[in-house]
Amino acid sequence: MDFSVLNEALASKSFNKIADICDNLMLQVAAEGVPFRDEWPFAIHLLGHIYIDDINSARFLWKSIPPAIKESQPEVVAAWKIGQKLWTRDYAGVYEAIRGFDWTQQTQVLVAAFSELYTKRMFELLQSAYSTISIQDAAQFLGMSEEDASNYVLGQGWTVNPTSRMITVTKQAIVKEQKLDPGKLQRLTEYVFHLEH
């Protein structure tokens, strides 16, 4: 079975493409009637869906994995554990699931990239949902120690009050980039010209 496209995506760190690549490869080999279950990279496939935050697809993939594969490949079970924690919105549990398994070299890069992306998502969630939050709660959401979480949010421009152990969230100004379409500008010019003459 040719996994060269998948290997290229992993090597180039195009992690957002992995789920689609795996889905397409699976459809292709299934259509050809090739037995693929034993050598299929289910852990990477699951993590690809988890990376793009497509938990429903990850759930359906998990349900389609034969029990023998689940029993013989603990990394597949570990990948799904991350999906379970996301499904139940157990934010701290996601980090525990990531750290709780000794990932193979091939999946370790993808898991590390997901962990970093997930921390960014959690930071953005905190930023949009809170004006103040305790250091302990922020650390739990960010999957860090309280000291690391304090340093992380300070680096993002938030303020930390060590006495009250509270973090004041600094909202980022939303910058909307306006795109100037020459066609729209031309129509506006013609419209104004028509009104004046």
pLDDT in tens, 45-66: 999 999 999 999 999 999 999 8
The burial class, CB within 10 Å (0-12 / 13-18 / 19+), for 144 is middle
84-111 pLDDT tens trace: 999 999 988 999 999 999 999 989 999 9
**In this structure, is residue 97 part of a structural domain?**
yes
**In this structure, is residue 170 part of a structural domain?**
no
**What is the domain range of residue 83?**
1-103
Residues 6+ apart with CB under 8 A from 141: 91, 92, 122, 125, 126
129-144 pLDDT tens trace: 999 999 999 999 999 9
Please state the rounded mean pLDDT for residues 162-186.
Answer: 77
Q: What is the CB neighbour count within 10 angstroms for residue 157?
A: 10
**In this structure, is residue 91 part of a structural domain?**
yes
**In this structure, is residue 17 part of a structural domain?**
yes
Please state, in angstroms and rounded to a whole number, the distance separating the CA atoms of residues 59 and 109: 22
Q: What is the CB neighbour count within 10 angstroms for residue 1?
A: 11
Number of domains in the chain: 1
**In this structure, is residue 87 part of a structural domain?**
yes
The DSSP call for residue 53 is: T
**In this structure, is residue 183 part of a structural domain?**
no
C-alpha neighbours within 13 Å on the C-beta side of residue 121? 15
Confidence grade of residue 179 (pLDDT, cut at 50, 70, 90): low
**In this structure, is residue 150 part of a structural domain?**
no
**In this structure, is residue 109 part of a structural domain?**
no
Please state, in angstroms and rounded to a whole number, the distance separating the CA atoms of residues 106 and 118: 19
